[in-house]
Amino acid sequence: MLTGFPPVADEQTCILILGSFPGEASLAAQQYYAHPRNQFWRLLSAILQDDLASLPYEQRLLRLLGHRIGLWDVIAACEREGSLDTAIRRAQSNEFAMLKHQCPRLEKVCFNGKTSGRFEPVFAAAGFRTLVLPSSSPANAQLSFEEKLALWKNIIL
């Protein structure tokens, strides 16, 4: 059984971006979005006009929190061969009930791709604004970076 990462969020977090589950490169590096072709850090760098992608990982996280944006995944643990979401088996979801206590200013939950987007109704029913985004994964090559960026800019609106 593979285990995901703890949330990157604090009491100032207003926006939370939820992925599905860390890929092999991320698990090996113990870093969110560590695959070099994943566009997550590049997208956020462009949106926030802050070159997060060039920073060491720990500084990226601190800077992201400074923008009041947090990170987590919908899946806490699972079995999976490779990095594709379609290969996820025996998934156990994270405990989201603690979010309202840990992040009292949380207003908006964004979902990085379709797999995490399946949880959108749960967060909408809890009163959060929600946004399902195209995946930043290199496996999602249907949209160009510019097309993804146009949609991802809605994170901060």
Phi, psi of 63, rounded to the nearest 5 degrees:
-65, -40
Question: Taking the CA of residue 134 as centre, how many other CA atoms within 13 Å lie in the half-sphere pointing to its CB?
Answer: 19
**2 sits in which H/E element:** strand 2-3
In DSSP terms, 79 is beta-bridged to 89
Q: Which of 38, 94, 140, 154 is catalytic?
A: 38
Q: Using an 8 Å Cβ cutoff, are 151 and 142 in contact?
A: no
Quick one: DSSP state of residue 51? -
Those residues with Cβ within 8 angstroms of residue 18's Cβ, 6 or more apart along the chain or in another chain: 71, 72, 73, 74, 109, 110, 111, 112, 116, 119
Is the sign of the CA dihedral 104, 110, 116, 121 positive or negative?
Answer: positive
Is 38 designated active site? yes
Q: Which residues are catalytic?
A: 38
